[in-house]
Chain A
Amino acid sequence: MTIVADRSACIGSGMCALTAPAVFDQDDAEGLVVLLVAEPEGADARAAAEAVQLCPAQALSSAERQRSSAEQPGE
């Protein structure tokens, strides 16, 4: 699974850092999302998928690897 984080949409709610702390963090300067692992696996991937769903600002999306490029992330 590949995770994409859009910092311009991020509102710094911290939901991702709380839900999947191994995958997401927030930077000190702006409080916005920092992607620690772009391609999480196993339990981290499941937590990251949940964080994508929970993000209040819809700033996160995910895509399965090796899929055709026509598929839109998060859809």
Chain B
Amino acid sequence: MTQAPPVPLHMRRDRFDPVEEMTRIREDEGVRELETGYGARAYMVTRYADVREVLSDGSRFSNAGAFRPPDDTRTDAERDRDRAGNLLAYDPPEHSRLRRMLTPEFTVRRMRRLEPRIVEIVEDHLDALARSGPPADLVSGFALPIPSLVICELLGVPYADRDEFQDRTGQLLDLSLELDLRRRLARENREYMSALVTQAQVDPGEDMLGMLVREHGHDLTTDELIGIGELLLIAGHETTSNMLGLGTLALLRHPDQLALVREDPAATAPAIEELLRWISIVHTGVVRTTTTEVEIAGTRIGAGELVFCALPTANRDPALLADPERLDVRRGAPGHLAFGHGVHHCLGAPLARMEMRIAFPALLRRFPQLALAVPYEELSFRAYHFVYGLRALPVTW
């Protein structure tokens, strides 16, 4: 095992905060060219208005860029197969074609129909915690299993396979691991989803894979079905779980705000938006490729260059709201970019919001004395991961 490489600048944080250098870049030049850690240089955009502009202009900032790492030995056909169905790797109109098949599944109303089942899942996990603790690890006992079970049921993935796929995707997104290992895991992940898709093609169930086969099977290739399934499974459990873990910790560090979320049902929705903004678990969106020469914050960037957006600094830009470094769950933070912006805005945002809206107050009401079981300084954050999070959150009550 070689030593882990240094954490790329855009992923460096001091617990909840972007490191000072990132804030300085936003205040000074706004855009900086740097090494991404993927074997390429890219321009990092840090200000709120600039990030919004980049993310909403797919014609100048393309998601379907031709970038490939220097040691990528795949043929063009293999690359095409690997990105098939991955909505984040396409621009309109190809992107719109795929997204349109999925939008009816994630409407606000459809999410409300899931509510009773999510409540049940949350209560089951709280019961299990109450039986086995205190103490307990809130990541493995609450934050990770709840969104995992929800996406498994929604998508049609056997929950019994959770250890296997959680472990695999966790490593897949860990940028400190060697590229060869991550590529092998990506292949395994694909084979796993391929088997589920084959099963759905033979006997389509009532879940989302079944729906895609039934309603769009004539239009989607098998590779596309696999790609969509992989993306939804990863995005469905790697994101909300980290928000539940980090969000609980953030509230534990701000007891007056925790009390508000516990006691006032009307406080939950705005609190979730503010937690999304303040924590910004996704360091950057998917890298974009310029299709023409552009100018951002006075920096000229040529055509064919890589550009990526630093979401935590954009979400703490005083141009978005006053006193941005402070967590204040009362303000609601409309306009934050934690789910991205533009046509690639998180498809699962209504589901994530629903899960958090149920899980946070339920946890805090079940365990009103919830507290850290270890000193704050000893908590371990996932520094190298594409999605920021906690390795564990030991609590007592």
Chain A residues with CB under 8 Å of chain B are 11-15, 17-19, 25-26, 28-32, 50, 53-54, 56-58
Contacts and interface: CB of A to CB of B under 8 A. Distances in A.
Contacts of A14: 106-108, 349-350
Contacts of B106: 12, 14, 31
B342 A28 contact: no
Contacts of B255: none
Interface residues on B, range: 20 to 34
B107 A56 contact: no
A63 B103 CA distance: 28
Contacts of A25: 109
Contacts of B96: 11
A56 B341 contact: yes
Contacts of A56: 56, 339-343, 345
A53 B103 CA distance: 21
A12 B107 contact: yes
B182 interface: no
Contact of B99 (A11, A18, A26): A11
Contact of A50 (B109, B334, B343): B334
Given A12-B99, A13-B349, A29-B104, A57 B109 contact: no
8 nearest A-B residue pairs (beta carbon): A12-B103, A31-B103, A56-B345, A31-B104, A26-B107, A14-B108, A31-B107, A17-B108
B285 to A, nearest CB: 12
Nearest to B337: A56
A75 to B, nearest CB: 16
Contact of A57 (B104, B105, B107, B345): B345
A59 to B, nearest CB: 10
Interface in B351-390: 353
Contacts of B345: 11, 13, 15, 56-57
Given A30-B100, A31-B104, A31-B107, A18 B342 contact: no
Contacts of A18: 108, 350, 353
